Chains A and B, each alone.
Chain A
Amino acid sequence: MGGHKGLINTFKYSLIIIGLSISIFPLVYMLLQSLAPWNEVNRNIIPTTLTLRSYNWLLLGSAIAKAKPWLRSLLNSTIVTASSTFLMVFSAAIVGYALSKLKFRGRNSIYNFILFQMFYPGIILLIPTFLIVKSLGMYNNYLGMIIPKAMSIWAIFMYTSFFKSIPQEVIDSARVDGASELRIIFRIALPMSRSITIVVALFLFMGRWEELLWDMIVVSDYKLMTLNVLIATMKSTYGGYPGPMYAASILLVIPVLILFIAFSKDFAKGIKLVFK
């Protein structure tokens, strides 16, 4: 019987290994191709030797083609994504706290409107939002990428439902001690929701980092493009240089992977709360 069970487990783990290989194949492929000699890119899965030529060419350019601002675009991605994510978490915590813990008049109407917005297709707003951003002078600068993405309805919804589980006595006793509402939010409510905050922030960060359409339409200057947009913009120009394009993809993927792996323990804990 024990042998039978062991056999089944071996079978399951082999299935998992096959599945995981499919899952990470594109990542591994990208990495290997970015390090391959140019005549082997997209020819061999595993290159015969490894070289940094693609990275060199990408970042330093060559005699005939000046390098595009790839590192700058990595910085742009970081600035835009970090600011947006911070603002989305910050605003969602404040609004979620007010909606779950303060029984003010109009609270239910606001909450219902948030639910309505959650199911409202954002695509209808794309063009008019672009026009507003343009008329506010935020076209072709960081603000145009950050401000319209400074609030997440989903995050507000998550915090509103999560803060409900914080006992009212905790908040009342903090008030008796003279704590302001903002202090309660950032010193009590948020630290008590560490796992959920990490999951929400990670999802927002990933979503923002990968945004293509919006960042593509609000920025036209190469120096301000996010890395994601720069790769998409250069894909045909650099069509004959797949090696450097893979190198750029690695630059794009690594920061998110590092961030995710750094928080993967908290993520595993928090994700259960999100899908409860």
Chain B
Amino acid sequence: MKRTRWIEVRGWSLTSPYLIFTLIFFIIPLIWGIVLLFTNWNLISPHRDFVGFANFIEALKSPKVHAAFFTTYKVMAIFIPTVLTSSLAIALLINSIPRLKGLISVGFFLPYLVSGVAVALVVNGVLSYNSPLSPMFRRLFGCVPDWFGNSTLAVMVISLMITWKLSGYYALIFLSGLSSIPKELYEAADIDGAGWWTKLFKITIPMLYPALYTVIILAVGLMFGIFTEPYMLTGGGPDLATHTWVLEIYYQAFSSMRAGYASMIALINATVTFISIIIIRKIMEGWGKRHGWT
């Protein structure tokens, strides 16, 4: 009996930092956030009105919210395929070489360490009209593209910046997945005379399911929180082509001072994120099941 009480006291006192923190920075904001959704408060004045569902209706009609919604999927359509290809390629390369594996994987991880703010400055410089890369672009495209004046190009630049940053990180996840694939599978395939591509698509990729699942969920989740790159480079333009959820929430809450309206957009963002992740998970799990993963 005494022993039991001792463990209760220790358990609750050691978790108390978490409990207090969660109360102040999770539970209370959660409740406050719900109240805010239905007000038109401007963060400063003591005056605030209950506006019912006006914020919700305004957000649903807002072209900026629509833009944020579509930008996420546009960036995703470029980012997911490119990041999967490059990180898988990096992992396969590193896995297949005899020497310097550790050093090389650290090298590929370096972009993850570079702050998006600093990378944005470089991208801005490199893509400027007179940049040292301009002659190359002129040779390739016949002119220097107006990278941030063209919607498609701007989305592409931002997506590829994120691909650059995360490829090495995701490659580490794939590397640890590759190390757990039994060698016998490849030996058996060799006996059957399977080629490199067949082995890749019939053995490696299906066997990487757990790593692929992790990477895809991480990558999709990331797409709904893009902020630094468009904030630094485009401000959401041109024509809202790179406007993102977090950018819209930030501008509404801290430039236009519309805390209630911004909270409503945050809630819509969270809901869209949640539904998108569930759909992706279902697709992934279906694919996994067909390859014998449960």
Contact = CB atoms under 8 A, between A and B. Distances in A.
B155 to A, nearest CB: 20
Interface residues of A: mostly helix, strand, loop or mixed?
A: helix
Interface of B: 7-8, 10-12, 14-15, 17-19, 21-22, 24-26, 28-30, 32-33, 36, 43, 89-90, 93-94, 96-98, 102, 104-108, 110-123, 125-126, 128, 130-132, 164, 167-168, 172-173, 176-177, 179, 211, 214, 224-225, 227-228, 231-232, 245-246, 249-250, 253-254, 259, 262-263, 266-267, 269-270, 273-274
Contact of B228 (A94, A117, A212): A212
Contacts of A103: 7, 11
Contacts of A12: 93, 96-97
Interface of A: 9, 12-13, 15-16, 19-20, 22-24, 26-27, 29-30, 33, 41-45, 91, 94-95, 97-99, 102-107, 110, 113-114, 117, 121, 123-132, 148, 150-151, 156, 181, 206, 209-210, 212-213, 217, 228, 231-232, 235, 242, 245-246, 249, 252-253, 256-257, 260, 264-265, 267-268, 271-272, 275-276
A268 B108 CA distance: 12
Nearest to B250: A213
B110 A257 contact: yes
B122 A127 contact: no
Given A13-B97, A107-B11, A110-B18, A43 B245 contact: no
Contacts of B89: 19
Contacts of A19: 89-90, 93, 108
Contact of B168 (A23, A95, A106, A231): A23
Nearest to B265: A123
Nearest to A271: B172
B266 A242 contact: no
A33 B133 CA distance: 14
B243 to A, nearest CB: 15
Contacts of B132: 42-45
A20 B107 contact: yes
B285 to A, nearest CB: 16
A252 B25 contact: no
Contacts of B114: 26-27, 253, 256
Contacts, number: 231
Given A103-B11, A212-B231, A235-B120, 6 more contacts: A106-B12, A148-B25, A151-B21, A181-B10, A232-B232, A272-B176
A30 B33 contact: no
Contacts of B96: 12
Given A12-B93, A30-B122, A44-B132, A125 B26 contact: yes
A271 B9 CA distance: 34
Contact of B28 (A110, A113, A132, A150): A132
A67 to B, nearest CB: 18
Contact of B225 (A123, A206, A257, A267): A123
A30 B123 CA distance: 10
Nearest to B115: A210
A106 B12 CA distance: 9
Contacts of B22: 113, 117
A127 B107 contact: no
Contact of B17 (A94, A114, A275): A94
Contact of A213 (B113, B246, B274): B246
A224 B119 CA distance: 23
A136 B110 CA distance: 38
Nearest to A260: B113
B90 A210 contact: no
B59 to A, nearest CB: 14
21 contacts: A15-B93, A19-B93, A23-B107, A23-B167, A29-B126, A33-B125, A42-B126, A43-B130, A45-B132, A95-B17, A102-B10, A123-B225, A123-B249, A125-B33, A231-B117, A232-B117, A232-B231, A246-B122, A249-B115, A252-B118, A267-B106
A212 B246 CA distance: 12
A249 B116 CA distance: 10
Given A20-B107, A23-B168, A253-B113, A128 B28 contact: yes
Nearest to A206: B113
Given A12-B97, A24-B107, A95-B15, A132 B112 contact: no
Contacts of B263: 124, 127-128
B9 to A, nearest CB: 8
Contacts of A125: 25-26, 29-30, 33
A236 B111 CA distance: 24
Given A12-B96, A123-B266, A268-B105, A102 B14 contact: yes
B116 A150 contact: no
